[in-house]
Homo-oligomer: A and B are copies of this chain.
């Protein structure tokens, strides 16, 4: 099977850390161009717009978009107009209304849209969902606490009004909504915003799933050990996902999981969608983020500095 000729848009940290090495190892994709105002990946020509790129390299089939979430509508429209299938990094857009337009636009153009949630591809997610099927869930605890200085060094866009700590938090929400059998209902939310910033640095969210409490804590200012943990207490035992759902334990006993990196699985899934001419654009995690902002109370906390 010939490789899918793919371009990358937005050559920042996530493109360099994940997308470029994953595509390099993939037997289904070949990176042939980039849209970027910065340095293109090594050995690949860079262009400042999709139109310019398609003029120079006309046989591109797909584009993977890693730009910050705001302003993607224009980019996606341009990509679809040039006949490209489209994959987008999380979070999908700056607003729910914008994100909700992508799939109808792709379908109208006869193209594939894949709105990705890389954490859903973590090795523990499928086994966790399978184990939880039919169990009596009593309580869920999610702690997603990391140091923004390590994971988003100097990335000022993360402090623009909006996303903030929900940039990693949406990963937790994408896993929770993938493994739990019923929808989450938000009961209360507190967002903590540094006095010198526009976006929350921490959040406490209380959901219910059926009658079970689901307590979620996000923190972007975590010193020492980082945690990306979900614990599900069931009548039948306790499930724990840790390290961003890459590790799974049942009643404290580690479950053996295949070594299969998230982004390798993500690109394999995109290849399947391209082959099947199907879209996959679940916006549930993003809706939960908007709801936290709509519904939550806000508390001002100490200034944040890099």
CB contact under 8 A between A95 and B291, given known A101-B183, A183-B101 = yes
A75 sits at the interface (CB 8 A): no
Q: Smallest CB–CB gap between A297 and chain B, Å? A: 4
Interface string of A55-75 (1 = CB under 8 A from B): 000000000000000000100
CB contact under 8 A between A185 and B297, given known A290-B290, A290-B291, A291-B290 = no
Scoring A184, A290, A296 by chain B CB atoms within 10 A of each residue's CB, the highest score goes to A290
Contact assessment for A183 and B294 in the assembled complex, using a CB-CB cutoff below 8 Å: no
A289 sits at the interface (CB 8 A): yes
Which B residues lie within 8 Å of A183 (CB)?
97, 101
Residue among B98, B198, B295 making CB contact with A297, cutoff 8 Å? B198
A161 sits at the interface (CB 8 A): yes
CB contact under 8 A between A290 and B293, given known A73-B185, A95-B186, A97-B186 = yes
Complex Cα gap A235–B206 (Å): 50
Interface size classification for chain A: 20 to 34
Q: Smallest CB–CB gap between A213 and chain B, Å? A: 16
Give this chain's copy count. 2
Which B residues lie within 8 Å of A295 (CB)?
94-95, 161-162
Which B residues lie within 8 Å of A82 (CB)?
none
- Closest B residue, CB atoms, query A297: B161
Q: Smallest CB–CB gap between A211 and chain B, Å? A: 11
Residue among B95, B161, B186, B189 making CB contact with A298, cutoff 8 Å? B161
Interface string of A287-306 (1 = CB under 8 A from B): 11111011111100000000
Contact assessment for A97 and B161 in the assembled complex, using a CB-CB cutoff below 8 Å: no
Complex Cα gap A130–B12 (Å): 47
- Closest B residue, CB atoms, query A291: B95
Interface residues of A in 254-306 (CB under 8 A from B): 284, 287-291, 293-298
Complex Cα gap A96–B185 (Å): 10
Contact assessment for B73 and A287 in the assembled complex, using a CB-CB cutoff below 8 Å: no
Q: Smallest CB–CB gap between A160 and chain B, Å? A: 9
Which B residues lie within 8 Å of A94 (CB)?
186, 295
Complex Cα gap A297–B184 (Å): 27
Q: Smallest CB–CB gap between A157 and chain B, Å? A: 13
Instruction: List 18 extra interface pairs beyond A95-B185, A289-B294, CB under 8 A.
Output: A94-B186, A95-B294, A96-B96, A96-B290, A97-B185, A97-B186, A97-B287, A97-B288, A97-B291, A100-B287, A101-B183, A161-B189, A161-B297, A162-B294, A162-B295, A198-B297, A290-B291, A293-B294
- The interface of chain A, by Cβ under 8 A from chain B, is 73, 94-98, 100-101, 161-162, 183-186, 189, 198, 284, 287-291, 293-298
13 pairs, CB–CB < 8 Å, chain A vs chain B: A94-B186, A94-B295, A95-B294, A95-B295, A96-B287, A97-B183, A97-B291, A100-B287, A101-B183, A161-B297, A161-B298, A198-B297, A290-B291
